[in-house]
Amino acid sequence: MNLLLLDDEPIELEQLEFLIHLHFPSWDIEKCLNGSEAVALVQRLKNKGKPLQLALVDIKLPGKNGLDVAAQMKTIMPDMDIVVVSALQEFEYAKRSLTLKAVDFIVKPIIESELIKVLKDYIENHPEYMIGSEMIQNVLAIVKERYHQPLKLANIADELHINSNYLSRLFSEEVGVPFSDYLLHYRVEMAKYLLLKQKSWSIQRIAEECGFNSQHYFSTTFKRLTQTTPMKFKQSALPVD
């Protein structure tokens, strides 16, 4: 699924992306800091034939407020759904969000459980945006349960009694990336979670807990995928409740 996050606070954007990828690691997430950037992005994606299914839009933005921006984006991409996000709880804002046919309204500060409930409710109402085959759902469940262990798609294929080449092709088609890339990204997302949650753990322990066979490989992979080191991420990010 393709998702847009619009918020003028960079840390809020990073935290939202982190929380969503923790639960939905295969989702493609775009981020924007202001309305003009968001409108231009939506137009660019439409021109490329890449629709956005959902946008989480903060009301309080510099210049135009988020509801006006959401209305502009929907004129470009009418099928895109909107979730309104704001610390402002005035009735008028909620009422205006209804005119946009917003699917939900989230109040800041965002609580992880409430955010994920909104997204899961959305997916339940739009099952076409999720992975289609039961076979790939089984593979994703295995990754979620055993990401900290050595995992090879060939072994999973044997376990599921399916040809490994066919499973590899099916996985890439449905998820959009090869199994090895998906597993690596999932491990890094779990590492980000542990770096915030387990402040007393060493980088070596985080690496081991997330299935990396060495701290060096973990650190180089983490920096390649996040543009920062595990230690800098741990020191600069907000704590997880």
Q: Mean pLDDT per segment of 10 residues, for the chain of length 241 residues?
A: 94 90 85 96 94 93 88 94 81 64 85 92 79 81 92 95 93 88 92 88 96 96 94 72 49
pLDDT of residue 96: 66
The tokens 């994920």 sit on which residue?
Answer: 116
pLDDT of residue 98: 63
CA angle 10, 177, 160 (to 5 degrees): 125
CB atoms within 10 A of CB 57: 26
pLDDT of residue 237: 57
Q: Which of 208, 197, 189, 206 is nearest to 144 (CA)?
A: 189
CB atoms within 10 A of CB 184: 18
pLDDT of residue 131: 64
Are 106 and 136 in contact by the 8 Å Cβ rule? The answer is no
Every domain range in the chain assigned CATH 3.40.50.2300:
2-129
Query: Which CATH fold would you assign to the domain 2-129?
Result: Rossmann fold (3.40.50)
- Euclidean distance between CA atoms 230 and 233, whole angstroms: 5
What's CA 99's distance to the chain center, in Å? 27
Assign 55 to helix, strand or coil: strand
Every domain range in the chain assigned CATH 1.10.10.60:
134-236
> Which top CATH class is 134-236?
mainly alpha
pLDDT of residue 235: 82
pLDDT of residue 24: 82
Are 3 and 30 in contact by the 8 Å Cβ rule? The answer is yes
- Euclidean distance between CA atoms 13 and 8, whole angstroms: 8
pLDDT of residue 26: 73
Q: What are phi and psi of 78, to 5 degrees?
A: -60, -30
Q: What are phi and psi of 205, to 5 degrees?
A: -65, -40
Q: Whole-model pTM above 0.75? A: no
pLDDT of residue 55: 97
Separate counts of helices (H) and strands (E) for the chain: 12, 5
pLDDT of residue 182: 92
